[in-house]
Chain A
Amino acid sequence: DTAVSQTPKYLVTQMGNDKSIKCEQNLGHDTMYWYKQDSKKFLKIMFSYNNKELIINETVPNRFSPKSPDKAHLNLHINSLELGDSAVYFCASSLTVNTEAFFGQGTRLTVV
């Protein structure tokens, strides 16, 4: 019974394509996040939503667009994929802002 689940786990796609990664949490948390782990293994926040409202939007290209249809879901859509987008993307949730976050298993995106 996975707390934070994201799909797909692996995604290989060509440059220029548009793709989405889905995330769902069944913990009843109010806050959800997207993190990116790059080739240097650095975990960096991209977006944070609290009660479906965007509260953190780091310096991320506007090709990346998060969508939160409800508190339990935060999907990430990426347009016009580039080679540099290749990374592992983690979804996470927390009870509120500033409490410990629980992470999904990650989606390894490879752009070829």
Chain B
Amino acid sequence: DQQVKQNSPSLSVQEGRISILNCDYTNSMFDYFLWYKKYPAEGPTFLISISSIKDKNEDGRFTVFLNKSAKHLSLHIVPSQPGDSAVYFCAGTASKLTFGTGTRLQVTL
């Protein structure tokens, strides 16, 4: 039972454009959501989070949007940079972090 789903395994975006990564969840008990970024041969790195009582959180080029009624969240990166190329995991938590399967973002020149 996959409670967090990232339906796009990969995404390619041109440098300077907006990257939008999507995530859907099924567990209505999740009260906190997080995005992690992972480079090859490294551990996931925390990027940005959002509480379930908010619908938007912004940190520099990164913005996370939460639509609770749709059980959907998204990560916007603008402008996208080549160094953003990585695998992005979304996660929800009630008592433990539950991760999606990841989306590989490729930012091209």
Contact = CB atoms under 8 A, between A and B. Distances in A.
B96 A45 contact: yes
Interface string B58-95: 00000000000000000000000000000101000111
Contacts of A98: 31-32, 93-95
Contacts of B98: 45
Given A98-B32, A100-B34, A41 B45 contact: no
Contacts, number: 46
Interface residues of B, number: 22
Contact of A92 (B43, B49, B87, B102): B43
A76 to B, nearest CB: 15
Interface residues of A, number: 21
Contacts of B46: 100-102
Interface string B27-50: 000011010100001111110010
Interface of B: 31-32, 34, 36, 41-46, 49, 87, 89, 93-99, 101-102
Given A40-B101, A97-B95, A97-B96, 15 more contacts: A43-B99, A44-B99, A48-B96, A90-B44, A92-B43, A98-B31, A98-B93, A98-B94, A100-B46, A103-B36, A103-B43, A104-B43, A105-B42, A105-B43, A106-B42
11 contacts: A41-B101, A41-B102, A42-B101, A43-B44, A45-B96, A45-B97, A90-B43, A98-B94, A100-B49, A101-B97, A104-B43
Interface of A: 4, 33, 40-45, 48, 56, 90, 92, 97-98, 100-106
